[in-house]
Copies of this chain bind each other. A is one copy, B any other.
Amino acid sequence: MERKHTVTFQPEGLRVEVSEDDNLLTASRRCGVQIESLCGGRGSCGKCLVRIESGEATKPTRFEAQALSGAEMGSGVRLACQTCPISDLTVRVLASPRVPGSKILTWGLELKVKPDPYVKTVSKELPKPTLRDQRSDAERLRSALKQSSIDLLLLRQLPRLLREKDWKITATLYGREVVDVGGLDAGGAYGAAVDVGTTTIVVYLVDLASGKVMAVESDYNAQIPYGEDVISRIAYSTREKDGLATLQRLAIGTINKLLDEASKKANVEKGRIYDVVCSGNTIMLSFLLGMDPSFIATAPYVPPDTGSIAVKAREMGIDTNPGGYLRTVPSISGYVGADVVSDVLVSGMHKKEAVSLLIDIGTNGEVVVGNKHKMLSASCAAGPALEGAEITFGMRGMEGAIEKVAINPESLEVFYKTIGGAKPKGICGSGLVDALASLAMAGLVDSTGKLTEKARQGQGFVLAKAEETEIGKDITITQKDVRNLQLAKAAIFTGCYLLMKKMRIKPEGVKNVYVAGAFGNYIDPTSAIVIGMLPDVPVERIKMIGNGAGFGARLALLSKGKTKEAQSVARKIKYLELSGEEGFQKEFLKALNIPHAERNLFPTADRIIGSRGKEHPFMRWNQSGKNINYS
């Protein structure tokens, strides 16, 4: 019989009986105790701090070793999500400490767009009504502004507003609709571009007249506790009553919080924000709009809507001017979303004669190939390995994550660089790509991905020794880690390859490779080619476009023309369902090799591996064997 224990949470004194498999975060939710958790119980956010006051619990995990100081561990502090009861427990909920600065990508290609937003302000003095000019207030306003409609909420207050301001007004227009009326001193009009990511949400507060970004704020998506990835969130939304409404509320809550922070930082009144343009994957935007995305999860993977949707801010519960709008960048399919349309918009590939390849790497990889005449897209199930999940010492791109790796092929000495220069706690995506490339170049892993004899040092190849790490343990790359990385990189390359094949384009015909997304922004392009993740093109053709979703949303926010461009891009890009493609499995198997089973597809990668990294720009060693880039 399963053993049950009673957990008492202080200071509330709430009790719940749980089994030995239930962690304290789960237990807290069951009895209604509020413990903050941003990572959904993965052990990575370090928010869910508790102190064991009495009773026995399971041993600390490596996540706790990363998140907690020695002093904390000594005094019984634990992460609730990592701790299960062994006996009855009394537990005190602690205030959350600062989350170590996480790298959230807010950077993007510099925008070159002349502001021509939907929102404009016009200052006017209206003729006062007389017995000879008894036009209605609305008609007077419409004809003075040459506009056709007035927001209903505004209309309701218009008589009072016009007289309070003595007919001297600044009107704010959204397209051809008057949405606000203030005095001549009303101030400017602002908008927000929002990247609604599965993990993080980024808000850019923008002055719509100048296009200037006034503030950028980002945070974890408050939906995370209800599922780490989109599929588990869909499962939650269909399983739980009001699940969809809950997820919608949480996303809107995060956006409202960030709008609040950004407007405070920039000293902008929230009532002067009139346009909120959201980009993100199709499932995130469906949740945001309250549309049921559940049929994306099963074949034939049909989304509720891919169009660009505009809704009054007040109908969405978005805390901006109630007459303003929230609108979305359009999507292409259930798995190629508005984020990819945004990437394309930022890259400009839809306006070039030359053929480009665009890759957005996250939990899913999305790929677009084409030029101004024709574009084809696909989604590849890369899995979360490149985000650090399912990797023994994997972690997100946070302080202490190894983000760059080089291995001296002679001495097998390892050189690494961590985020923030801190003692290493684990390894993030860009570090993993470097590590696999380095292992290959040093002959520590063969072309099938097998760790060679000399690479095996206990659990696997050691990147950082216990004494130099924050966690007091060796940070290693295991055989299983390599296998997971192979699956991820093969998925991405197969997507690129099949699209190029469909378009009858060879790698050398690809003139630009745009890499978008948080992960893509930090990887070393040569390492990515060496492991066979990106096609073998001259490295200078590879361009990072940063947070394409956020920057595409900014373009749509700032320019009616760019909004229309996004719509035409979304219509123009066709979607190819890879799972329905003949030969997908065969190509995927070939792509598992490092760099690839068809060697002629990767001449450069082959040459770099053959030269033991001498042609890799970062694998340069000085006379004493130190890497000249990282040491």
Contacts and interface: CB of A to CB of B under 8 A. Distances in A.
A5 B347 CA distance: 82
Contact of A139 (B130, B157, B306): B306
A135 interface: yes
A301 B134 CA distance: 7
Interface stretch (A99-107, A260-268, A575-583, A587-595): A575-583
A29 interface: no
9 contacts: A131-B299, A131-B300, A133-B300, A134-B300, A139-B307, A152-B315, A155-B291, A159-B295, A159-B304
A28 B580 CA distance: 75
Interface residues of A, number: 45
Contacts of A14: none
A139 B305 contact: yes
A325 to B, nearest CB: 12
Given A289-B152, A334-B134, A158 B304 contact: yes
Nearest first, the 3 closest Cβ-Cβ pairs linking A and B are A138-B305, A131-B580, A129-B302
Given A133-B300, A157-B292, 12 more contacts: A131-B299, A131-B301, A134-B575, A136-B302, A136-B307, A137-B303, A139-B307, A152-B311, A155-B291, A156-B291, A156-B304, A158-B292
A163 interface: yes
Contacts of A132: 580
B292 A156 contact: yes
Contacts of A333: 134, 136
A579 B131 contact: yes
A160 interface: yes
A57 interface: no
Contacts of A271: none
Contacts of A133: 300
Given A131-B300, A575-B134, A160 B306 contact: no
Contacts of A152: 289-290, 309, 311, 315
B307 A138 contact: yes
A131 B301 CA distance: 8
Contact of A305 (B129, B134, B136): B136
Contacts of A302: 129, 134-137, 159
B163 A131 contact: no
B311 A159 contact: no
A524 to B, nearest CB: 35
A592 B290 CA distance: 66
B299 A137 contact: no
A430 interface: no
Interface string A272-312: 00000000000000000111111100011111111101010
Nearest to A282: B136
Contacts of A135: 302
Contacts of A315: 152
Nearest to A150: B305
Contact of A294 (B159, B289, B301): B159
Interface in A125-169: 129-139, 150, 152, 155-160, 163
Given A138-B305, A303-B137, A305-B137, A295 B577 contact: no
B304 A138 contact: yes
Contacts of A306: 136, 138-139
Interface in A309-348: 309, 311, 315, 333-334
Most buried by B among A130, A292, A302, A577: A302
A221 to B, nearest CB: 20
A163 B155 CA distance: 40
A132 B152 CA distance: 44
A130 B291 contact: no
B295 A163 contact: yes
Nearest to A245: B156
A292 B139 contact: no
Nearest to A130: B300
A129 B302 CA distance: 7
Nearest to A306: B136
A144 to B, nearest CB: 14
A334 B138 CA distance: 12
B580 A300 contact: no
Contacts of A158: 291-292, 304-305
A305 B163 contact: no
A163 B158 CA distance: 45
Contacts of A579: 131
Given A136-B305, A580-B131, A159 B292 contact: yes
Nearest to A153: B290
A307 B304 CA distance: 36
A311 B299 CA distance: 39
B156 A300 contact: no
A571 to B, nearest CB: 10
A524 B306 CA distance: 64
A157 B580 CA distance: 28
A160 to B, nearest CB: 6
A303 to B, nearest CB: 5
A494 to B, nearest CB: 17
A577 B134 CA distance: 9
A334 B159 CA distance: 13
B160 A292 contact: yes
Contacts of A294: 159
A157 B292 CA distance: 7
Contacts of A309: 152, 155
